[in-house]
Amino acid sequence: MREKQTRSVSALPSVSEARLESVLGTAVDGIVVMDDKARILLFNKACETLFGYTTEEVRGRNVKVLMPAEYAHAHDGYLNNYLETGEKRIIGIGREVRGMHRDGTEFPIELSVGEAATPEGRQFIGIIRDLRQRKAVERRLAEAQAQLVSVTRISALDEMGAAIAHELNQPLTAIMLYLQAAKRKVGDDHRDEKLVEIVDKGVREAERASQIIQRMRRFVEKRDPERRSVNVARLVGECLDLVTMGTDCRDIEIANDVLDGLPDIAVDPVQIQQILINLIRNALDAVRQAPVKRVGLSAAVSGGDMLIRVSDSGGGVPPEVVPTLFRAFSGAKKGGLGLGLTISRSIAQNHGGDLAVEPNGGEGGAAFVLRLPVDTPERGDQVAAPPGRKGPTA
Amino acid sequence: MTIHIVEDDPGVGDSLALLLGEIGHQVEVYPDAESFFEHVPPGPQDTVIVDLGLPGVSGVQLIRWVARLSTPPRVIAITGQSRRAITELFGDDLPPVLLRKPLTEEALIALL
């Protein structure tokens, strides 16, 4: 039907014209042909979908009908300017503009315009690509990247504080106990007043340091994790997207075996995302120079906990490094404080879970196992534990 | 009466043993729950001081195991973790007597 009408406007039907018709009909991009008075001569199927007009409705009308007001006003001017001066603004260049649907909705399009001299005069061919989908992807990418930045920062300070407090506590505890033991020893055996005094001062200084840590810890603990039910497959998928969007990992085989249908976990999604992103990044870094570049993600329930496993086929963690791997400032990785794993473990433990490393079976490399509590209906009671339920503290 | 110390940090374990030894207690130190289990179970006169953040079998599991003994010893848990984390750790079980790191002699003596 469209074919017939097109022919009534244009020249005699021919084989090549029939072929053109079928090309226009099947093209994914919108194609509009107009004459030098901006009248629409041809409007393909894709255009009908894009703009909501049928060919019959727009043929012969000014192409402005497809444009938002501000373009429509200027269009005659642009066209005349070109026809008079031959100065090309869009022809052969293509640019991002906005189209307008019949219902008034504006949408981003990429418009390329070509020109043809025909027996019927000059004609302009516009090829229109709908950018809405691409825009949506771009927006999602931008959001994802912004989120990645905030994810790595949002609780980094809190968690760093917690990790430092925790790591400093161990040697500080030892120092205080050693000093107190020494004080007892000199006090009992020698009655060396001066030495007792010195040790006393040492104890006081250690206590001062401990108070600083306790204050830091109180500050850090003020913020309760915002726990909610989180779908594991979705969380892992998002983290994988976030990491892979930002880095080149084309030559790395990434196997995400985290299936839908696992029970939800009760976690602060932002914090757990931080752990997973850290683990996935580490895994990708680990295989970058390896002969086999494979990173695997899986999850399973074991003993009421969710175990999320991030494995790689890289060099693995040397056995002598394993004991200190999660200690703050012990990391062997260049360009970092070695806090990533410390913070990650501290987050996991704050959730009542843990983070551990194990050899990655036959493939070589390492596997990090993140253990997190599965969401249970009574969780609400536990989280909002009354003060009486909290353990006595020193 | 023996004080059993299950603590993975060698500095903390050693210093605690030294101080308690100075005070006059008989002390055994274990770096993890596994090696604690290999020994003769503690008697009712004994005290078990356990760090909650142990590698492998956790301090919480150790405390549950000890609590099921027919004549359980006294248990003191030590931890550097937050109160919130501890409440989470024990779930419905009542946490044992708890000392937070850094430990002080006074707090220890008060409990022993």
- Which has more pLDDT, A4 or A294? A294
Do A370 and A238 share a domain, yes or no?
A: yes
Mean per-residue pLDDT, A171-178:
90
Distance from CA of B42 to the nearest CA of A (A): 24
**Mean pLDDT across chain B, nearest whole number?**
86
Minimum-distance CB partner of B89 among A352, A389, A393: A352
CATH for A18: 3.30.450.20
Instruction: ipTM value, please give it.
Output: 0.84
Do A237 and A354 share a domain, yes or no?
A: yes
Pairing of strands A40-43, A30-35: antiparallel
As a whole number of Å, the end-to-end CA separation of chain A is 88
Please tell me whether residue A384 adopts helix, strand or coil conformation.
coil
Do A296 and A192 share a domain, yes or no?
A: no
* pLDDT reading at A99 higher than 90: yes
- Across the interface, whether the CB atoms of A174 and B11 are under 8 A apart is answered yes
Minimum-distance CB partner of B87 among A171, A184, A391: A391
Among A173, A189, A221, the domain-final residue is A221
The residue segments making up the domain with residue A16 are: 2-130
Please write down the long-range contacts of A167-171, taking CB distance under 8 Å and 24 or more positions apart.
A167/A327, A167/A328, A167/A329, A167/A342, A168/A209, A168/A213, A169/A210, A169/A213, A169/B80, A169/B101, A169/B102, A170/B9, A170/B11, A170/B12, A170/B80, A170/B101, A171/B11
Most confident range (mean pLDDT) of A51-55, A167-171, A315-319 is A51-55
A185-232 confidence digits (pLDDT tens): 877 666 778 888 888 888 888 888 888 887 777 766 655 567 889 999
Closest-CA residue of A relative to B7 is: A170
Do A214 and A307 share a domain, yes or no?
A: no
Q: By CB neighbour count within 10 A (0-12 exposed, 13-18 middle, 19+ buried), where does A303 fall?
A: exposed
A74 touches A98 (CB < 8 A): no
Per the domain annotation, does A144 fall within a domain? Answer: no
Give, for A185, the enclosing helix (H) or strand (E).
helix A156-189
Do A242 and A311 share a domain, yes or no?
A: yes
Q: How far apart are CA A62 and CA A76, in angstroms?
A: 10
Do A26 and A93 share a domain, yes or no?
A: yes
Q: What confidence category does residue B84 fall into, taking pLDDT thresholds of 50, 70 and 90?
A: low
A103-141 confidence digits (pLDDT tens): 999 999 999 999 888 888 889 999 999 988 888 777 777
Our count of domains for chain B comes to: 1
Q: How far apart are CA A144 and CA A261, in angstroms?
A: 25
Q: How far apart are CA A307 and CA A276, in angstroms?
A: 12
Query: Number of residue pairs across A and B with CB atoms under 8 Å?
Result: 114
Measuring CA to CA, which residue among A263, A389, A371, A388 is closest to residue B91?
A: A389
* pLDDT reading at B8 higher than 80: yes
- Across the interface, whether the CB atoms of A169 and B16 are under 8 A apart is answered no
Give B33's contacts in chain A (Cβ within 8 Å).
none
Q: Is the dihedral of CA A54, A59, A64, A69 positive or negative?
A: negative
- Across the interface, whether the CB atoms of B9 and A174 are under 8 A apart is answered yes
Q: How far apart are CA A79 and CA A113, in angstroms?
A: 12
- List the beta bridge partners of residue B26: B2
